[in-house]
Amino acid sequence: MAGDRFSRILRIAGLILIAVGVFILLKINYTDVETSYTQERMHDEWIKAENRTRGSDFHEDLPVVSAPSRRTASTKRETASSTETTSSIARDQKAVKRVAVAHLKPFARIVIPRISLDAIVVQGVDEQALALGPGHMEETAYPGEVGNMVISGHRVTHSHPFYYLDELKKGDPIEIYSLSNKKYTYYVVGQKVVIPTDVSVIAPTKDKTLTLTTCNPRYSAKTRLIITAKMLDEDKLLN
């Protein structure tokens, strides 16, 4: 009897673990699709604004993202492959409400050729902002400015824009496009891992610095992966 009872307990525990695992996978996939929709919408708005203002001095008048659409903040070796289903309408409605509450505008566009990343950066690094894509820490520098511009992003969930961030190498270019569509190229100078409470990585600098932050290792928030890049000549960085 005791053996049968123990076996039943093990079976129940196993079923619970399987259910939890399935729930986690479904949640990850759901957030990936939702963020991909929003990123597509922001890309569309970015292109429209670029076309409207080509040749003019455009400054921060992109419309608030009002509804998600389909597209991924593309990352190397995998893309969102979701198709429309009957649940798409429900997802859209939830995403619309979330974005409407956030009142977030696109801040910049980030392109990292090494990891095939092309994403719209939003303003802010709270949970709501990062659910839309990479986020700019508001009190830090802006594109091309002297100082430390800090951009954070998810490594898993929410289309995982920084999933392959650890593959960046010294000298790799990181392109930042401002709202006026001016391109600023930063070059990677270093990579390190710090504890979450280490705020030295976001401290102001005396040169034009870009700092990318994400959770480390993947599927954990135990530490933070930090990529540091400088707006300098590529030749100087490689020597």
Which residues contact residue 237 at a Cβ distance below 8 angstroms, ignoring those fewer than 6 apart? 170, 171, 187, 188, 189, 230
Does 2.40.110.10 match the CATH number of domain 2-238?
Answer: no
Q: Which of 43, 158, 160, 215 is catalytic?
A: 215
CB-CB contact of 222 with 216 (8 Å): yes
> Which range is least confidently modeled, 25-34, 152-161, 179-188, 198-207?
25-34
Mean pLDDT confidence for 161-179:
95
Kindly report, residue by residue over 181-234, the tens digit of the pLDDT.
899 999 999 999 999 999 999 999 999 999 999 999 888 889 999 999 999 865
Please tell me which residue, 176 or 50, carries the higher pLDDT value.
Answer: 176
The length of the chain in residues reads: 239
pLDDT tens for 78-93 read 443 444 443 443 444 4
Sequence ranges of the domains in the chain: 2-238
Is 136 tagged catalytic?
no
Annotated catalytic residue, options 43, 136, 154, 160: 154
Taking a C-beta distance cutoff of 8 angstroms, is the pair 94, 131 a contact?
no
Question: What is the pLDDT, as a whole number, of residue 221?
Answer: 81
Note if 59 is an active site residue: no
What is the model's pLDDT at position 176? 97
CA distance 123 to 100: 14
Tell me: pLDDT of 130 over 80: yes
CB burial of residue 25 (10 Å; 0-12, 13-18, 19+): exposed
